Amino acid sequence: MRIVKVPTSYYQQFDADRNLEFAAEGYAGWQKEDLELDLDGTAVVVMHAWDCGTWEEYPGWHRAVEYISRSYDICRSVFPELLRSVRASGLKVYHVVRPGSTYFKGYPGYDRAVSLSSGRTEANERVALNPVRQRLDQFRAGHVFPGLHNRDDIARGQRNLDFPEEAKPVGDEGIAENADQLFGLCKEDGVNHLIYTGFAINGCLLTSPGGMLDMQKRGLLCSTVRQAVTAIENKETVRTEAAKQLALWYVAVMFGFVYEADDLIRCMK
C-alpha cells in the first residue's frame, strides 16, 4: 500500500450540552487532522460533470438548473490541476455518467466497467399510479421543477450531453452508469474509498445511480472535495451557498470525510 498523510476535515457531532439553550451548540463541530490515505485503495470519482451547452442554446435548462454556471467555473478552475495531480500520483479516476445516455459509450473505460459488472439491475417494483397521483406529479412538474416551459430545452440538451473538456476520461479510466458497474471497477482495482467530485453534492452525488448512498451500501467509504463540488441552491441560499455547506456537513457525518483540493494536490507531489 502507498500511504500518505492528508489534512482531513471531519465533523465532531458530539457532545450536546443540556445547559445550553440549544444543546447541539455544544458540539465540537468542524475539525481537521492529518489522516492516512491509501493511494492504492482510493479512487477519485468525477460524477455528472457535463457540458450542458450555453444559456443561449438551452435557456430552459439553465433557467431550471441554476448551478450549471458554477459547475463550469469549477471545471475550469479546479479540475485541471486536481485531476492532473491525481493522475500523476497513480490514484485511480472513475467517471459516473448519466444512465441511458450515449456520450460515454465510445470510451474503453465504459467497456471495462460493463465487463466487470454482474449484469444485475436494480429495477425495484413500483406502485401503480392512479389519476390523483398523476395529477399531483403533473402539478409538481409545472410548479416545483423544472417548469413545463423548460422541459423541451432540457430534453434537447440532454440528447446532446457530453463531457466537459476538463473532465474527459483519459485512457481506460473506468466509466460507470450505475452502481453495479462502479462496484465492479472497485472490486477489480482493490478500491474501498471513493472521493467524489462533480455536481451536485446535495443531489446527484448522493442519490443518483453510483452515488454515495449506493456505494455506502456496498461498503465503500465516500468522501468529497470541498472546492470540486457545488450544490443545488435556492433563492434563499444561493448568495452564501448555504445548501453546499449543509451538504458537506451531511457527507462528513453520514458518509466519509471532506478534503481541500490544495491539500490533496500537495500530498500527491
How do residues 131-148 score in pLDDT, each as one tens digit? 999 999 999 999 999 999
Span 242-256, average pLDDT = 98
- Phi-psi map region of 232: left, alpha, beta (phi>0 left; psi -120 to 50 alpha): beta
Cell of 19: 445547559
Give the per-residue pLDDT at 118: 82
Q: Are 155 and 58 in contact (CB under 8 A)?
A: no
Task: For the chain, give the percent of residues with pLDDT over 90.
Answer: 96
Residue 249: partners with Cβ closer than 8 Å, 6 or more residues away = 11
Task: For the chain, give the percent of residues with pLDDT over 70.
Answer: 99
In tens, the pLDDT along 30-76 reads 999 999 999 999 999 999 999 999 999 999 999 999 999 999 999 99
CA distance readout (Å), 73 to 21, 77, 80, 143: 41, 6, 11, 29
CA distance readout (Å), 54 to 78, 153, 162: 20, 11, 13
For Cα atoms 263, 264, 267, give the angle at the middle one, nearest 5 degrees: 85
Give the per-residue pLDDT at 122: 65
Question: Of 110-119, 159-168, 209-218, 251-260, where does mean pLDDT reach its minimum?
Answer: 110-119
Residue 157 backbone phi and psi in degrees, to 5 = -65, -40
- In the predicted model, is pLDDT for residue 106 greater than 70? yes
Tell me the average pLDDT of the chain.
96
Count of beta carbons in the 10 Å neighbourhood of residue 64: 17
Exposed (0-12), middle (13-18) or buried (19+): which is 6, by Cβ within 10 Å? middle
Residue 32 and residue 226: Cα distance in Å, rounded?
13
The residue to which cell 457531532 is assigned: 13
Give the per-residue pLDDT at 121: 66
Confidence of residue 1 (pLDDT cuts 50, 70, 90): confident
Beta partners for 46?
A: 95, 197
**Would you call 104 helix, strand, or coil by DSSP?**
coil
Sign of CA dihedral 100, 105, 110, 116: positive
Span 14-32, average pLDDT = 98
In tens, the pLDDT along 196-226 reads 999 999 999 999 999 999 999 999 999 999 9
Give the per-residue pLDDT at 120: 73
